[in-house]
Amino acid sequence: MNRKFIRDSNFILRGILNSDNCLDILKNFVEAFLKIQIQKIKINKSPQVENKSTKEYGIIDMRIVTKDNEELNVGIQIVDGDYIQNKMFLYYAKIHSNQILYGDNRKLAKTITINIIDMPFFSSDKYHRIIKIKTNIINDNILETIEMHVLELAKFTKELNNNFSDEDAWLSYLKGENENIIKLAKDRNKYIEKLDNLLEKYWKEEKI
């Protein structure tokens, strides 16, 4: 993984990206992987329970409105260590259940999580896997459709060429193995360059 994410990656990115100044970065990232168009993003701050903030997990918890006016909860996390599958499902449950704690009378919406893993996990060669679990009864609204995206950085490879999508750029930057491809990712995508500059600023201030 990119050397800038090596230590406490969720904590560092949560501190940087939980800001209205970074909504454009989040919009580009989510659109790249979910293949949707976003018209509005609201960052969900940690909900209060008995006047105390609940524990924060992952990088970010957002409520998104798409161009089709569909509302979605989206959470992003970097997953490492043991019990990867358990961590993905527990994170999904956390992001989905948080909806009832915000106290703003929002309607329950579908939740999607994006899980970034810096090692091979599933047996196939696919680096972007989509896991969906849904009821087998048509038009049954009791059980929400579960959707989790898993990005396995170790399986992603990309050559330097003109066929370089936003998804390719983000995966190349997150993986961080090839400096030439990282530079191409930043040149092709201004939002990656913006995040990279924010991370550089963070690490410089950390060293002072």
The per-residue pLDDT for 45 is 81
Lookup result for tokens 């201004």: 190
Least confident piece of the model among 24-33, 72-81, 102-111, 170-179 = 102-111
Lookup result for tokens 């998804």: 167
Which of the 8 DSSP states describes residue 68? T
Model confidence pTM above 0.85: yes
pLDDT tens digits along 169-181: 999 999 988 888 8
pLDDT tens digits along 119-173: 889 999 999 999 988 766 666 555 567 899 999 999 998 776 767 899 999 999 9
